[in-house]
Amino acid sequence: MVAIAITGSPAVGKSTVSQVLKGQGWDVLSVRELAKQYDCEGDFDETMDSLEIDVHKLSECYQPVDDEDVIIDGHLSHFLDVDAIIILRCDPEQLRSRLEMRDYDERKINANVEWELLSGTWSELMEFDIDVPILELDCTDMPPAKAAEEIVAWKNSGFAMKNVEKIAAIDWLSK
């Protein structure tokens, strides 16, 4: 069985796609739930209006159960012991609209749009030399059910890379 991280900026569709997969029988865990379970929650960050998570401690504590396919949902999930990583992406202007609809403050919106614009998750994968199969999906206009279909097909293919390499990531700056 496999553990797959679904990661990306806030509001790209991680939880929505994860819930579609849950409806198809996948076990779904969130990084937030795991942090609570393994006592890896930190202080509340007033600047980012969110609870800090000690992802280093969590990565040491959490081990996937071998007999279950599991999705780990969260923007830090790619730091955990997983068999594959899915990065969901969204056009920065659409992402801005989604974050505004969630009533994020302007500072948090700008930080997350900038992160998406600069492919921040890819930067972390390269910096920490994370070497598992990676699938990147542009979810700007992709319905969650279609994203789930792509994920299942990718898993069933044995995580075929489909010519996606770190240097070939979606580049919003060139569009």
**pLDDT at 166 exceeding the cut of 80:** no
The domain of 27 spans 3-174
DSSP 8-class letter at 140: S
Q: Is 147 exposed, middle or buried (0-12, 13-18, 19+ CB in 10 A)?
A: buried
> What CATH number should be reported for the domain holding residue 128?
3.40.50.300
pLDDT tens for each residue of 10-42: 999 999 999 999 999 999 999 999 999 999 998
Residues 40, 55 contacting (CB under 8 angstroms): yes
pTM greater than the 0.95 cutoff: no
Give mean pLDDT, residues 145-150.
97
Domains held by the chain: number: 1
Q: Is 7 exposed, middle or buried (0-12, 13-18, 19+ CB in 10 A)?
A: buried
pLDDT tens for each residue of 76-113: 999 999 999 999 999 999 999 999 999 999 999 999 99
**pLDDT at 168 exceeding the cut of 70:** no
DSSP 8-class letter at 79: G
